[in-house]
Structure 1
Amino acid sequence: MKLVRYGQKGAEKPGVIDADGVLRDLSHELNDITPDCLGSDRLAALQALDKTELPEVTGKPRLGVPLDGIGKIVCIGLNYRDHAKEVGAEIPSEPIIFMKATTALTGPFDDIKLPRGSKHTDWEVELAVVIGKTAQYVSEDDAMDHVAGYAGFIDLSEREYQNKRGGQWTKGKSCDTFGPLGPWLVTRDEILDPQRLSLWLEVDGRRKQFGNTELMIFGVAQIVSYLSQFMTLAPGDVIATGTPPGVGHGMEPSEYLRAGNRLESGVDGLGAQNHFVVSV
């Protein structure tokens, strides 16, 4: 099941994409797509609906962040060996954890806004995991029971803020619009193996990143279990699982986003995003 939120920013409505790719309205079934909807019983009830009986949404409305009320965004750094190598970092022996402010979230087709004076804004396409059931001290064997679904994510990064302004990753990752999520929240039953998903990113039609989640150092079950040893993961929390090689910072010479660029990305089974880059 592909859950969406559509409409103007701040006034989104809940929706679902049916088997034919048609957007259907869910407003008569729930007020919004929130963490309360992500439990197995609630998802099963939504799954059981006859989607063809739901009102069709006409036109091409804006799609927003597919989940409202996200509590935290937890990110895993350097989770692909080739990405660690391209930026001159050591291969981590345990997951590297940092946080990204929820105010960075933006829709899958919204403009990406460069921070004032930014010259080093970089791209990172990622698989995002959405938690559906509270996870605290869970084992790897049980970890997937706590996952509601997945979405595409772009972890935009201002490298000067990240690396030269006190060495604080969160500072370089949390600017407004630096967390595009979507276009859909795809429930776990539709993704047979999260460790077999290709992901890609293009700038102005030129392929920059291509990889597969099978090359992640730490897989989804490992990450969920690991994080739950240090913090409680709540329904609606989002985990960004790391990026494959091809970021601008790792190129020779380095490349960064500029106003006027078009940024496109996608993950197998999770849809594609498309953004214009603009100045604030």
Structure 2
Amino acid sequence: MMRGRVAYAGAIHEAYPDADGVRLADGRVRREDEVVWLAPIEVGTIFALGLNYAEHAKELQFNKQEEPLVFLKGPGTVVGHRGVTRRPADVTFMHYECELAVVIGQTAKNVKRENAMQYVAGYMIANDYAIRDYLENYYRPNLRVKNRDGGTVLGPWFVDAADIEDVTQLELRTFVNGMRQQHGNTRDLVTDIPALIEYLSSFMTLAPGDVILTGTPEGVVNVNAGDEVICEIDGLGRLVNTIASDADFKRA
């Protein structure tokens, strides 16, 4: 089942896909642009994987390390479908990252690889923006690169794990102003989902609602204010986002 969360008429509603837009839990149907889209779930800790597709690592001239490159993200980074993400005026290279987001469904500690998928509740699309100007190095992504307000778009839907037939064979695509710029497949993950859960749960406890962003394929290009970015993943829908300037956010 696909389900999301939206704000409409002063309340937060569970929502579902509809041919005419979005259907609220009370039966009302509204156009996508009539509601404010929230992240499909109340997210817990967000774990983000860096350079977890071999071709993307090659694209950025990075050599694979023995352990996954993982960093944490705060809740203020999250924005929903059709949301707006700010591009600071002082940057020269800001790019999208279409990613499969894995949602943990039950407490996980010291999980073995062969049992790891039992702890997955479902999946979402993520678009996790990065600003390369602010990057110190690939081993230490600093806060300004990956923890900016509104820099992580989640949605539009949460999809139950049981509804995805084969999570290891999902196509990812990103379009900028209608032109496809990024294309990949989850079969090319360097560290796959079971291995990520085994690794993370070996030294910390994962909780329901925690989200693992599994990395992005090659094909990132700079985006500018006014650009529309759409990320698609098979079976999960299409996540729409717009880039805005400092002026749009009333910043000098």
Using the size of structure 2 for normalisation, the TM-score is 0.89
Aligned sequence identity (%): 36
Residues 126 and 243, structure 1, Cα contact 8 Å, conserved in 2: yes
Aligned match of 2:2: 2
**Aligned: 1:25 with 2:21:** no
Residues 21 and 31, structure 2, Cα contact 8 Å, conserved in 1: no
Q: Could you tell me how far 1:62 is from its partner in structure 2?
A: 3.0
Aligned match of 1:142: 115
- Deviations along 1:10-39, one digit per CA (max 9) or x if unpaired, are 943122337x6874433xxxxxxxxxxxxx
Partner of residue 268 from structure 1, selected from 224, 229, 234 = 234
- Deviations along 1:159-207, one digit per CA (max 9) or x if unpaired, are 111237x953443011111100011000101111111100011112221
- Deviations along 1:127-168, one digit per CA (max 9) or x if unpaired, are 00011101111011111111110000011001111237x953
Aligned match of 2:29: 57
Residues 99 and 170, structure 1, Cα contact 8 Å, conserved in 2: no
Unaligned regions of 5+ residues in structure 2, if any? 247-252
Q: How many residues align?
A: 243
**Aligned: 1:214 with 2:187:** yes
Residues 108 and 180, structure 1, Cα contact 8 Å, conserved in 2: yes
Following superposition of structure 1 onto structure 2, how do residues 223-234 of structure 1 map, counting pairs within 5 Å?
A: 223-234=196-207
Q: Could you tell me how far 1:9 is from its partner in structure 2?
A: 11
**Aligned: 1:113 with 2:79:** no
> 1:199 & 1:168 partners in 2: Cα distance?
24
> 2:197 & 2:44 partners in 1: Cα distance?
16
Unaligned regions of 5+ residues in structure 1, if any? 27-53, 249-255
> 1:67 & 1:215 partners in 2: Cα distance?
27
CA gap 1:265/1:94 in 2 versus in 1, 3 angstroms? same
CA gap 1:231/1:116 in 2 versus in 1, 3 angstroms? farther
Following superposition of structure 1 onto structure 2, how do residues 40-55 of structure 1 map, counting pairs within 5 Å?
A: 55=27
> 1:206 & 1:25 partners in 2: Cα distance?
32
Following superposition of structure 1 onto structure 2, how do residues 91-240 of structure 1 map, counting pairs within 5 Å?
A: 91-163=64-136, 167-240=140-213
CA gap 1:167/1:228 in 2 versus in 1, 3 angstroms? closer
Residues 130 and 150, structure 1, Cα contact 8 Å, conserved in 2: yes
Aligned match of 2:48: 75
Deviates more, 1:155-164 or 1:101-110: 155-164
Using the size of structure 1 for normalisation, the TM-score is 0.80
Aligned match of 2:249: none
Following superposition of structure 1 onto structure 2, how do residues 80-91 of structure 1 map, counting pairs within 5 Å?
A: 80-91=53-64
Residues 131 and 146, structure 1, Cα contact 8 Å, conserved in 2: yes
What is the RMSD of the two structures over their aligned residues, measured on CA atoms? 2.2
Supply the AA of the counterpart residue of 1:57.
V
> 2:190 & 2:197 partners in 1: Cα distance?
14
